[in-house]
Each structure stands twice: as structure tokens, then as C-alpha cells.
Amino acid sequence: MEIFKKDLAINAPEFQIPRKSSTPVPYVGNQVRQIAVATFDPSSNTSQRAVGSYGLGVYIPINAIITNAWYDVITTFTSAGADAGTIALTSQSAGDLKAAIAISDATNVWDAGIRGCLPGSYAEATVAGDTAVLDAARKAASYVKTTAERELTATVAVQALTAGKLNLFVEYVLSA
């Protein structure tokens, strides 16, 4: 039996797409969703512990439509006293990925584990006469479209952080 190169699986090594200074051109035809990954790590980077906003060094291009976002808390977050500190995650406008929620909140959104964000998630309404069109409209309303190139940002409020680390994943496609 002969084995041809065309029959072998190809494993692509990890790669990063560099940030471009020019306006990206939207694709016509089939398009691959892109995923931006940013890390917020006040455990290692003590300059990210105080109350304030911190750019995460990852940018979403102009006219990107964010269709989904989630984050993986690697190290549970804690703050200076009673975990009253809040954290918000932002792309286009304040808290549009994750609104400011206290670390001590009963939903435990800042405890270790995978957590969802607002884009791609929406409140399901169960009312008489609901249709697929209304459902699709609710989902689309949860998307975020950037009006300029935007840096992913984490905002700490109320109380300084003492520990925590997360990886933020933002899925998007380009539009005009």
C-alpha cells in the first residue's frame, strides 16, 4: 500500500495573527470566525490589582461583530475585604462583555471555571406567539459591533484585587 502526502493529516502549529495598523477588509464569500484571546492576571501582574481599567493588549478590529465570548477563570479572584471588589469585561462599551459583578456575588462568576459573557447569550422569553424570528432577533441584539479598533479591557472597581487570573475568549467576524 502506498502512502501519499495528500493522504496525511496536517497538524498546524500554534500561531498568532499580528495586529495590523490598517483597517481590515471584510471578506466576501465564506469567512472564518476569528477568536481573540486575552489574559487578565492580577496574581502575577500586581499593577492590575488596584481599582481602575486595564487594557489587556489584545485588539478587536473596527467593524467586527462579536458573536460570542466566554472566559476561563484559572485562579479564583479575591479582593481586599469580603470580596466586595467588582470586575467588568469590555470590548466596545462599559461592561458589554461582562457587566461589573462583585466577586462575592452568589453566582460565583469569578470562581475557577468556564463562564459565559453577554454576546451570544440572551434572555429567553417564553410568551405566547414566540417565533423563530423573534428568537433570532433577541440573539442578534446580544451581539456587539465595534465602531473603531477596541482593546479588550478589564475594569476593577469598589475594592483592590488580591488574586485572580482569567483567559478571555472573544469570537467575531468582520463586517463593513
- What angle (nearest 5°) sits at the alpha carbon of residue 47, between those of residues 45 and 49? 90
pLDDT score of 1 more than 90:
no
Q: Give the separation between CA 135 and CA 25, rounded to whole angstroms.
A: 30
- Dihedral pair phi/psi, residue 75, rounded to 5°: -120, 125
47-174 CATH: 2.60.120
DSSP 148: S
The reported pLDDT for the residue numbered 6 is: 64
Q: In this structure, are residues 115 and 73 in contact, taking their beta carbons and an 8 Å threshold?
A: yes
| Mean pLDDT score across all residues of the chain | 88
Mind listing the pLDDT tens digit for each residue in 37-84?
Answer: 999 999 999 999 999 999 999 999 999 999 999 999 999 999 998 999
Q: What does the alpha-carbon distance between residue 102 and residue 78 come to, in Å, rounded to a whole number?
A: 10
Residue whose C-alpha cell reads 475594569 in the numeric block: 155
Q: Tell me, what's the pLDDT at 31?
A: 77
Q: In one letter, which amino acid is 1? A: M
Domain definitions of the chain by residue range: 47-174
pLDDT level of residue 11 (50, 70, 90 thresholds): low
CB 152 within 8 A of CB 38: yes
Q: Which helix (H) or strand (E) holds 78?
A: strand 64-79
pLDDT exceeds 90 at position 129: no
